[in-house]
């Protein structure tokens, strides 16, 4: 889960007075949409945004078994997942994963098929309290069954993670002690015993320290609060130099904005235009002192979310850095009119290039 790390605007957020009104999902319509169409996924997004969504009717055991076998052939794995039937584990894992996004607002974005049309991905944006995630639901185009779920900020999908976990547990090239330790660390991470987990993590062989399961799991934590979590992620990132969105919060926390940008770039191209992505680009470019790029990104973000205050505040700061007095003045007028956020001359003087702004003809013609 990614938080909007926007320290700069937080400094100014005291000026905020109005809130973007919350959307209340309408009651699901009674019309049954054709499965796997855009209308179907729009309807599903509404249902997922509502209370207590039960995915069970969307499951189909044979389709799910077929899907699992494509990820990893049946012959290569144990008939059960830690003494639980795979079918049950698979269904429970997706159900459980979905419950983590209860009370999120789901927005259907787009779909595309793969594996010669046998599978279909439907992409959703999820939002809650300023937090955003991108979730891919994977479907059988034949049975229309829900097969898997994948947060784009993780390497593994739900089934992929189960499979990875299972394959590590059964990997003969690793010692039984190391495999056991790996499982225990995962347990400790789940129990948020991060210091203990970090101690054990140091003694793991490099092959296991590299596992993307760590980055997937650790990226959900509040890294500001745990040096142990940061240490584990640092080692994992060191062993995995390829950028991946699951390292994004880590690099932000490390203030390595160039690396954070590379992680954003690793998101699917279709998500680059999303508000959240553009906002993050804007922040990272601003921090890297790329004001032109930051302006391009914040403009995109504003066009997509014109009722949130944060992008206007960042727009103001970026405009000031770019010495774009017209842009800054127009932004101040919206902040005043829409959010009742008034900036005095003294407030503005505390900002970068603020003094020049208040002397500019653009500013004076509106506020002078």
Partner 1 sequence: MRLLLSLLILGTALLANANEWQQTPRPAWVKQHPQPEVALDTQQSSQYLLSDIQVDLSQPQRQVYNRFSYRVNDSVGVEEGSDLQISFNPGYQQLQLHTIELIRAGKRLNRLIEKDIRLIDDEADAENRIYTGSKQLTLFLRDVRPGDIIDYSYTLVGQNPIFADAFSYFFELGWGVSVARAEISVLAPASMPLQHRFVNLDGTLTSTTEGQLQRYQLSLRDTPVYRDEGQTPPWALAYPYLQMSSYTSWQDLASWAAQLFVVDSQPSAELSRWLEQLRQLPQKQAIEAAIGFAQNDIRYLGQSMMENSHRPYPPSTIYARRYGDCKDKTMLLITALQALGIKAEPVLVSTYHRHTLGDYLPAHNLFDHVITRFYFADQWYWVDPTRTHQSNRLEAITPAYFGAGLIAQAEQTAPTAMPALQADQHGLEMRQQIMAADYSASVIVQIETRYRGREADRIRYEVAQNGQQRMSDHYLDYYNKLYPGTERYRRAQFDDDREHNRFSVRETYLVPDFWHTNAEGMAEFELYADLIDAYLAPPEKVRRNQPLAMRAPITVVQRSELWLPEHVNFGNFSPTEQFGNDYFSMSAQVRYSPRKLVLEHTYRSKAEAVPAAATKAHIEALRNAREHLAYSQSISEVTNEPAYQAVSSLMEYIYSQQMQGRP
Residue with structure tokens 């054709």?
34
Report in angstroms how near the CB of residue 338 gets to partner 1 at its nearest. Answer: 4
82 or 110, CB closer to partner 1?
A: 110
Report in angstroms how near the CB of residue 361 gets to partner 1 at its nearest. Answer: 15
Report in angstroms how near the CB of residue 134 gets to partner 1 at its nearest. Answer: 16
156 or 275, CB closer to partner 1?
A: 275
Report in angstroms how near the CB of residue 21 gets to partner 1 at its nearest. Answer: 6
Q: How far apart are CA 168 and CA 231, in angstroms?
A: 22
Q: How far apart are CA 341 and CA 289, in angstroms?
A: 26
For binding to partner 1 (CB under 8 A), which residues are involved? 20-23, 25-26, 29, 31, 38-39, 42-43, 45-46, 49, 105, 107-108, 110, 116, 292-293, 295-296, 299-300, 302-304, 306-307, 326-327, 330-331, 333-334, 336-338
Residue of 42, 10, 162, 32 whose CA lies nearest to 92? 162
159 or 335, CB closer to partner 1?
A: 335
CB atoms within 10 A of CB 133: 20
26 or 73, CB closer to partner 1?
A: 26
49 or 89, CB closer to partner 1?
A: 49
Report in angstroms how near the CB of residue 33 gets to partner 1 at its nearest. Answer: 8
- Per the CB < 8 A criterion, the answer to whether 29 and 43 are in contact is yes
Residue of 216, 6, 211, 33 whose CA lies nearest to 108? 33
Report in angstroms how near the CB of residue 158 gets to partner 1 at its nearest. Answer: 24
Report in angstroms how near the CB of residue 56 gets to partner 1 at its nearest. Answer: 23
Structure tokens at 231: 């240490």
Residue with structure tokens 């499979």?
163
20 or 96, CB closer to partner 1?
A: 20
User: Which residues make Cβ contacts (< 8 Å) with residue 354, sequence separation at least 6?
Assistant: 320, 347, 348
Terminal-to-terminal C-alpha distance of the chain: 44
225 or 292, CB closer to partner 1?
A: 292
Burial class (CB in 10 A: 0-12, 13-18, 19+), 171: middle
The SS3 of residue 114 is: strand
β-bridge mates for residue 81, sequence order: 84
31 or 173, CB closer to partner 1?
A: 31
Report in angstroms how near the CB of residue 333 gets to partner 1 at its nearest. Answer: 4
HSE-CB at 42 with a 13 A cutoff on CA atoms is 9
Cα separations in angstroms, 225 against 100, 148, 221: 21, 31, 9
């Amino acid at each position: 889960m990614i938080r909007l790390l926007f320290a700069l605007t937080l400094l100014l957020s005291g000026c905020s007075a109005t809130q973007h009104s919350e959307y209340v999902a309408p009651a699901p319509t009674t019309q049954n949409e054709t499965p796997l169409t855009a209308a179907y996924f729009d309807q599903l997004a509404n249902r997922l945004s509502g209370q207590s969504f039960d995915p069970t009717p969307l499951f189909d055991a044979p389709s799910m078994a077929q899907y699992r076998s494509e990820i990893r052939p049946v012959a290569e794995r144990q008939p059960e997942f830690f003494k639980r039937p795979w079918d049950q584990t698979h269904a429970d894992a997706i159900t459980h994963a979905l419950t983590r996004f209860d009370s999120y607002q789901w927005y259907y974005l787009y779909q595309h098929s793969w594996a010669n049309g046998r599978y279909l991905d439907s992409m959703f944006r999820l939002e809650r309290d300023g937090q955003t995630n991108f979730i891919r639901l994977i479907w059988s185009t034949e049975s229309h069954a829900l097969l898997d779920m994948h947060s784009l900020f993780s390497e593994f999908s739900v089934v992929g993670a189960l499979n990875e976990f299972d394959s590590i547990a059964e990997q003969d090239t690793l010692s039984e002690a190391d495999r056991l330790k790996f499982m225990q660390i995962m347990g400790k991470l789940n129990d948020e015993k991060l210091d203990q987990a970090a101690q054990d993590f140091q003694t793991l062989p490099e092959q296991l320290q590299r596992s993307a399961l760590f980055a997937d799991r650790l990226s959900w934590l509040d890294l500001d609060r745990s040096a142990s979590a940061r240490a584990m992620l640092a080692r994992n990132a060191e062993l995995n130099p390829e950028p991946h969105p699951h390292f994004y919060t880590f690099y932000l926390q490390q203030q390595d904005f160039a690396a954070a940008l590379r992680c954003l770039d690793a998101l699917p191209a279709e998500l680059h235009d999303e508000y959240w992505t553009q906002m993050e680009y804007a922040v990272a470019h601003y921090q890297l002192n790329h004001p032109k790029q930051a302006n391009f990104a914040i403009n995109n973000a504003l066009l997509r979310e014109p009722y949130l205050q944060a992008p206007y505040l960042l727009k103001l700061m970026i405009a000031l850095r770019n010495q774009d007095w017209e842009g800054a003045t127009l932004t101040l007028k919206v902040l005043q009119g829409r959010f009742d956020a008034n900036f005095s001359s003294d407030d503005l003087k505390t900002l970068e290039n603020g003094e020049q702004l208040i002397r500019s003809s653009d500013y004076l013609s509106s506020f002078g």
